[in-house]
Structure 1
Amino acid sequence: MQGTGPELVEREPALATLRDLLGSLSRRRGQAVLVTGPAASGRSALLRAFAEEAAATGASVLTSAGSPAESRLPFELVHQLLPGLRLGDGALEHAPSARPAGASGADAARAVHRTVARLARTAPVVLVVDDVHHSDRESLDCLLYAVRRLERAPVMIVVSEPEQPVPGVPSVSSALLPHRSCTRLRIGPLSVDGIRTLATHRVGAVRARRLAPRLKLLTGGNPLLVHALLDDSGDDGCACGQTDGAGSGDGDDGAGGAGSGEVTGSGEAGAGTRFHDAVLTCLDRCGPGAADVARALALIGTPATAQLIGEVTRMTTESVGQAVTALSTSGVIENFRFRHPGARSAVLASVPYERHRALRLRVAELLHRRGARPAEVARHLLRCGEVGAPWACQVLESAAEAAMADDDIDHAVNCLRHAHLSAVDTVRRTTSRIKMVQAEWCRDPELSQRHLKDLIGQVRQGGVAEEALTPLVKQAVWHGAPGIAEELLDRLRLGTGAVCPSEAAERQVTHLWAASVYPSLLRTVPQTPVGRRRDSGPLLGRMDRPLRAAGALLDVLKPGGHDAAVADADQLLETVYPAGREREVFRVAVLALETLLYAGRAERAARWSERLLESSGDSQGRTWLALLSWTAAEAALRQGDLPAAAERAREALKLIPQASWGVAVGLPLSCLVAAQTGMGDFPAAAEQLAQPVPDAMFRSRYGLHYLYARGGHALATGRPDAALTDFQFCGDLMCEWGIDSPGLFPWRLGAARAWHDKGRTERARRLVNDQMTRLGTDGSRTRGAALRLLAAASPVRQRRTMLQESAEILQACGDRLEAAYTLADLSRVESELREHRRAWVLARKALQLARACGAGPLAESLLPGARPKDAVPMAVPPDAAALTPGERRVASLAADGYTNREIAQRLYITGSTVEQHLTKVYRKLSIRRRDELPTDL
């Protein structure tokens, strides 16, 4: 006998049994053999190998194979067998090869029996019938007739059929097995060892050992599928390499039917055309209902059930169960999941587009009726195109809302786009479009701008539902249409429709935020907004957080005490950290951070901004990330950290393009301009100022940022008249809007510097005094800057006192750049008073702070009394030897300009410990204040 090849791996025992049975024919004993096994398990290969071996022994071998296409042709199988007999013309007179119309089944069966018996007189006869379940009924009767009458003749009949019964096809096993000479052989799937042996012939022993377990998982041991994956893998083995789990049934597919040209799938691991063809072959061999069940399973994904598949395919549960069993035993699926994602793609690619769409829609409807999650139903609706059903539109909008909560903005936009197409009336269609615009804004506001004009037209024509006006107000505010925003707010205020509590709160939040952007709308805001609670209890609901945040920001813009607003902002930031991906989290965070910035709490704003940016990760909400980057930049700027401010401002402008910022472009641009001006990079700042900005920006709060930064640049470049114009315009707007708060912008100080540069010292003094009067006793950075300006127009000894107080305030507030300017001025005063040692210490300290702020070139030009940086430092005072290591560390950081809070954080000690150490340092060094600390401790 010939050795077995790779096609017969683990089939040798069955082949050996067939050989033994063939040998028994010499004892004039007939045999019948039924070979069963899963679809594509290698039954045909086994029968071919046995037929060749039987022919080699001298037996007369007659072969045939059943076919679904020929199963309705009477005596087709017998017609295949008889031409194989080497008989004379006379022997054919009883054969029904011509299949005369008048021939009966009994006559044909007797003729076949006589012909085979005559042939067996000279040599053993072997009849091999593959896929007998696909044979015609007449031929099957002939075979069974022969089996019952050839028990003592040297005749062996070998037939094969699937292990699982095929729906609608009679099984041969029930007729053959009761026969006493019948033997049943089962061909099972390949084991891991068998797959390794098979693969060794293809890829070598080393790679076969590595691939075998994976191949078993992906194919269930089906030889046809194993061969196909090995064929597709080529030299790299990627088709049978790593995939996501044992199969894929719940991921999104890329197949759109045969007409779409798409045959891709998520994580297909390189499966190609051979594997796809092998899968379709398995479906054909699993029976007529298997393909429909596989298609339904591929569309439904998980969780799929026999009942749901039956509803989709309109098959009985019993038929579905039989098909599922056949698909499972063939290795295509396991537990209602495709073992290999490429199998799912192959199944879907075999469905024509229109049939694919109809099945998708039926699956979506059934899942919707069963109460499936909107996201699961939407997965199917997105593949159906325009549906035109109200329920589909609602499902897609709900799925989009869930996607937004999960920060999957791209998917949300896709859902809303299809919802817009599926809407059955103009109002619903426009509502979906507005929601899509709102989602697009989170990703790139420029995309949402193109819809605004058309949507406003729809509003005026009455084609927009009242519930859709609120998001439209936000778009009008961002894109510079305050008049439209006010019109929409009036429509909401005068609306007559019923409003749920969450929608009412959202309208209030939007109104408060719109007024904070365009303060001219402040007159339209109710005096006591509903929901603004300042109790010590927890925040009461989901909408209470944005309502408090918007109210706090509005409060801090107005002159007066801001303690309550700051407390609200701190509490809100505690509730949103670490930052989730929900849109509300970002909105609350940005509003609270703006509150802290305008209340003069830049240090807190900086800390929170960095923490929130770090925790937000790679969120798809680029607009919100850009706004968070701006808050970090503004906080760094107000602390005097110019390089950090410039870097964060550039990040903000990179996250979304400048055209996408709308009127808010004034935020990152002004921050970048101010930082570059402070660092002495005047050309770069001028380049930013040359960028076009929306005219509507100057009607918004964001325009104040821009005017103040542009005035600072004009002042630094020797253009006091231009600076005075910008500062005065900034002040006029703030006074007109009723938000003349120094924490927002101390425009009077900017104007005072401009008048001072013009030589109008008295006018400058009046502006500073006016600013000081408005500050009261508030020890803010604005007060520190005002004292420095007031000192410039005062006698020398009064200047020293003012500058010392200014330095204390600015260093305590953490504004190092303003502190550097103040120390530089104080150094000059000490020099005028012939206190050269103190003047030198202050000059060195001012220079050190200026360099730490990134304003080295500019600061050095303002500090003529400072020595070059490579000068020999002044010796540490002898009294410094009495300092303990802890006191020395605290004193050194304090000399560098760190606040008590920052020193405590860096050294991991309490604020009271810092104060105690500094008190002892002052006493031991015989100094009275912070700015007298030596810089070289």
Structure 2
Amino acid sequence: MADRGLPEHAHRRLTRSAPRRSNDGSRRGADPHPLLERDTALHTVLSGPPQVVVSGGIGCGRTTLLRAAAELSAAQVVAATAVRSERTVPHGIANQLAPHLSRTRPTLVAVDDVQHADSESVAFLVWLRRFPNIRVVVTHSATDSPHRVALSAWHQVWLRPLSTGNPALLSAVRDDGDEVGPVTRRTFLDLLRDNDLFEVACGLAVLGRHSAFLGALTNRHPKAVTTLTDSGLHDGTRFLLPAAEEILLGALAPAQAADLHLRAAALLHDAGAPDLDVAEHCVAAQAVDDRTGGVPLLRRAARTATSAFAVDCLRLALRTSDDEAVRVELGRTQWRTDPAAAARTLLPCDSGDPVVLRARWWHGDFSPEINRCTAELSLCHEFLTGRPLQAVDAEAVLRQRGPDTAPEALAQALRLVRSEHWRATLAIDASGTLRALLDAVRAEDSWRRGDVLATAADARSALDGLSPEGWGAAIGFPLQFALLAGAALGHETSPLPQAVPRGVFWPEYLRARGRHHLALGRPYAALDDFTAAADRLGEAEARIALGQSGAARTLLEEEIAPPSDARTTGIALRLLATVAARTDRPGLLREAVRRLEHAGDHLELSRALADLGHDRRDRGALGEARSLGRRARRESGLPERDAADGVLSAAERKVAALAAAGHSNREIGRRLCVTVSTVEQHLTRVYRKLSVAGRDDLPRELLTR
């Protein structure tokens, strides 16, 4: 599988076809050759001085150029390749060439990798200059060899990398489909190993920008970097091939790679490099010792590192020395991104450190004694229990926040201040735990405004921000708004985690789940949740759905009594209107609208307006009913067009479609095999959700579904 993409290169223009010749001069078909940017060099080899040395960086096409010259030459071609293992065999190359040479016939002698040839064969090649019919072309790597002096008088051709990169790698990338895939990886490693540069390249991969320490790390002369640079593999500071460092270190045994990193860490530490630079190598090696600064260096590096790398540093420090101070420091850092991991780190601690207390609270254990309370700790306690430990200036906590300020303290302070300025300020750099908590606070604010769609999106974002284990006992906070929004939209929500039955969010979760059950036509389950949560409004609505009007009226009249707030009173009045005498309904609904307008809850206001519009339609006031319906749709915050999409449940959509087509309730019940009472309940919810006064106002789009 390909690993990483490269910028597109012009490799599709790298090939030309030419007939290939053997030593006896016969043609053996055509073969493509990457000769882009090599025209001048090819002309020199074919028509220039009689003795030519073609040199260049590794993988820059010396062999390809030599083969192309052999195929294009009109002369007899006599070729040989020197190999490292035959370097000590006297006359090895000479013996391969001599039988095919002629004193009179034009001949091209081509020797590849002459740096590996024996000295006697090189002397033979030099001796051939006395024959005017013989042209000698050899290739030589960029590395030094004992034959440099012997060949120094020959015409030198230097092949540089192509303008688009190293030719060998470009060809490999092409074969991998323009990706850094297996062919490219293998080619890259082969180029380095064949030229004794693998150790140097691994050293550069480990050192990165600290390549000045290459000699000390590998005992190789830093001049070898020049060879890599001349080859288009390295630019002096980094490798040009994406993922080169990963390829190189992945080719080492894990113990070898760790040893390189640890030695690099020691070198950098001795040279006074920044703690973070040294710590990177320690973490890569998963080891630390006195030569690299030990655990103190890792703790110092963690204070200025990103959260993720700070966790890596402190995990290594804790594994090296199981110190409770390091454990607390690690847990505090983990809390920024993963409270579940932080809890696993902190819960075994005996320390009375505030972060340990917070971990216990986060998981529903409120028993530990508090030695010294701070404003931050009080806000954390209030967030999870609803009870502050002391009076707190929430805005002061927001102003004086630091990188280690508890995310739940900031979230609670924001809930108390309710400031758009602070919400925007905190969101700028928020990530991990704080980001998830801010999304949950935003869902709460969206629900208070009656913006159902925003509530659903914010609650989902919050739940996606942390795992259920990460949320701990606080999961009921975003979960309640996901359920409430789902109920308002009529969605059967996707599987959601269960809230933790501890802390302040459990009753809120039960209320929200009750709303969800009620919206989906499960009044008995809803009644159980509302009763357990002591939600009298919810209990009254569930009893209305069950036909228990008397019990519902008693509950609602108690809720309307002072000192109820405007929102509670408004909702209670709307529900009371559903069980009141017909003559009392208009007054109750108009008062509900007035109270809810004052409370600023747009969703509940839209419900009251829809109920009032339905009542006005029943009384023949069609114009007023339509006007109220339009206003109800605006207040609901739901899309006006295709409002039924994503709002009605499947059962409600079927009933609404048949009602829009003009069928009576009895006909609808017979078609769907349900009771007339069930049809009426479905239509009541449809009217409310779509904010319409009756079946004549149902969207015509329902008829096409």
TM-score (norm 1): 0.51
Partners in 1 of 2:580 and 2:619 — Cα distance? Answer: 21
Q: Which residue of 1 aligns with 2:500?
A: 694
Q: Which residue of 1 aligns with 2:222?
A: 320
Report the alpha carbon displacement of residue 720 of structure 1 after superposing the two structures with TM: 10
Secondary structure at the aligned position of 2:696 is classed as: coil
Partners in 1 of 2:282 and 2:481 — Cα distance? Answer: 46
Q: Where in structure 2 are the equivalents of 1:422-821 lying within 5 Å?
A: 423-427=320-324, 430-431=327-328, 434-435=331-332, 437-438=334-335, 441=338, 445=340, 451=344, 455-457=346-348, 459-460=349-350, 469-483=353-367, 486-487=368-369, 489-490=370-371, 508-520=375-387, 522=388, 525-527=389-391, 533=396, 540-543=399-402, 550=409, 553=412, 565-566=417-418, 569-576=419-426, 579-583=428-432, 587=434, 624-625=435-436, 627=437, 630-631=440-441, 633-640=443-450, 645=455, 649=459, 653=463, 661-675=471-485, 693-696=499-502, 700-709=503-512, 726=530, 757-759=549-551, 765=557, 768-772=560-564, 780-782=566-568, 784-785=570-571, 804-819=590-605
Q: Where in structure 2 are the equivalents of 1:853-932 lying within 5 Å?
A: 853=636, 857-858=683-684, 868-870=694-696
Secondary structure at the aligned position of 1:320 is classed as: coil
Say which of 293, 316, 319 aligns to 2:200.
Answer: 293
1:711-768 CA distance string (max 9 Å, x none): 66799989899959956x757xxxxxxxxxxxxxxx6766788899545967864553
Contact 1:65 1:77 (8 Å CA) reproduced: no
Asked if 1:361 is matched to 2:262, the reply is yes
Structure 1 residues 347 and 576: CA distance shift in structure 2, 3 A: closer
Report the alpha carbon displacement of residue 37 of structure 1 after superposing the two structures with TM: 1.8
Contact 2:331 2:342 (8 Å CA) reproduced: no
Look up the equivalent residue of 2:506 and give its one-letter code: G
Say which of 34, 37, 48 aligns to 2:55.
Answer: 37
Contact 2:92 2:121 (8 Å CA) reproduced: no
Give 5+ residue unaligned stretches, structure 1: 22-32, 87-118, 178-182, 193-215, 242-266, 285-289, 494-506, 558-564, 588-623, 732-746, 873-937
Secondary structure at the aligned position of 2:204 is classed as: helix
Contact 2:476 2:500 (8 Å CA) reproduced: no
Structure 1 residues 862 and 349: CA distance shift in structure 2, 3 A: closer
Say which of 198, 205, 214 aligns to 1:309.
Answer: 214
Look up the equivalent residue of 1:543 and give its one-letter code: G
Q: Where in structure 2 are the equivalents of 1:54-203 lying within 5 Å?
A: 65=82, 67=84, 76-78=89-91, 81=94, 162=140, 166=144, 170=146, 172-173=148-149, 183-189=153-159
Contact 2:500 2:506 (8 Å CA) reproduced: no
Partners in 2 of 1:652 and 1:552 — Cα distance? Answer: 13
1:76-121 CA distance string (max 9 Å, x none): 43577579879xxxxxxxxxxxxxxxxxxxxxxxxxxxxxxxx999
Secondary structure at the aligned position of 2:694 is classed as: coil
Asked if 1:334 is matched to 2:235, the reply is yes
Report the alpha carbon displacement of residue 424 of structure 1 after superposing the two structures with TM: 2.9
Partners in 2 of 1:272 and 1:555 — Cα distance? Answer: 53
Give 5+ residue unaligned stretches, structure 2: 1-20, 637-646, 649-681, 699-705
Look up the equivalent residue of 2:284 and give its one-letter code: R
Q: Where in structure 2 are the equivalents of 1:824-839 lying within 5 Å?
A: none
Partners in 2 of 1:45 and 1:157 — Cα distance? Answer: 18
Report the alpha carbon displacement of residue 572 of structure 1 after superposing the two structures with TM: 0.6
Secondary structure at the aligned position of 2:53 is classed as: strand
Contact 2:200 2:214 (8 Å CA) reproduced: yes
Report the alpha carbon displacement of residue 512 of structure 1 after superposing the two structures with TM: 1.3
Partners in 2 of 1:802 and 1:49 — Cα distance? Answer: 96
Partners in 2 of 1:344 and 1:548 — Cα distance? Answer: 37
Report the alpha carbon displacement of residue 309 of structure 1 after superposing the two structures with TM: 1.7
Instruction: Indicate the structure with greater helix content.
Output: 1
Structure 1 residues 787 and 308: CA distance shift in structure 2, 3 A: same
Report the alpha carbon displacement of residue 651 of structure 1 after superposing the two structures with TM: 6.1
1:783-803 CA distance string (max 9 Å, x none): 544666899999999997776
Partners in 2 of 1:441 and 1:701 — Cα distance? Answer: 22
Q: Percentage identity across aligned positions?
A: 25
Partners in 1 of 2:525 and 2:140 — Cα distance? Answer: 96
1:3-48 CA distance string (max 9 Å, x none): 9985996454444467x75xxxxxxxxxxx5735225566678889
Report the alpha carbon displacement of residue 513 of structure 1 after superposing the two structures with TM: 1.8
Partners in 2 of 1:789 and 1:400 — Cα distance? Answer: 57
Secondary structure at the aligned position of 1:771 is classed as: coil
Report the alpha carbon displacement of residue 354 of structure 1 after superposing the two structures with TM: 3.0
Look up the equivalent residue of 1:280 and give its one-letter code: L
Partners in 1 of 2:74 and 2:528 — Cα distance? Answer: 110
Secondary structure at the aligned position of 1:37 is classed as: strand
Look up the equivalent residue of 1:570 and give its one-letter code: E
Report the alpha carbon displacement of residue 702 of structure 1 after superposing the two structures with TM: 0.7
Contact 1:678 1:858 (8 Å CA) reproduced: no
Partners in 1 of 2:131 and 2:607 — Cα distance? Answer: 118
Structure 1 residues 828 and 359: CA distance shift in structure 2, 3 A: closer
Q: RMSD of aligned C-alpha atoms?
A: 6.0
Partners in 2 of 1:77 and 1:654 — Cα distance? Answer: 72
TM-score (norm 2): 0.65
Structure 1 residues 314 and 402: CA distance shift in structure 2, 3 A: same
Say which of 252, 258, 268 aligns to 2:180.
Answer: 268
Asked if 1:280 is matched to 2:192, the reply is yes
Look up the equivalent residue of 1:298 and give its one-letter code: A
Structure 1 residues 812 and 34: CA distance shift in structure 2, 3 A: same
1:782-835 CA distance string (max 9 Å, x none): 45446668999999999977764542332354434533565578789999xxx9
Partners in 1 of 2:164 and 2:122 — Cα distance? Answer: 41
Partners in 2 of 1:704 and 1:292 — Cα distance? Answer: 64
Structure 1 residues 857 and 362: CA distance shift in structure 2, 3 A: farther
Structure 1 residues 382 and 844: CA distance shift in structure 2, 3 A: same
1:172-201 CA distance string (max 9 Å, x none): 42x676xxxxx4211221686xxxxxxxxx
Partners in 2 of 1:437 and 1:552 — Cα distance? Answer: 18
Look up the equivalent residue of 2:505 and give its one-letter code: Y
Contact 2:337 2:431 (8 Å CA) reproduced: no
Contact 1:165 1:171 (8 Å CA) reproduced: no
Larger Rg: 1
Partners in 2 of 1:470 and 1:143 — Cα distance? Answer: 84
- How many residue pairs get matched? 614
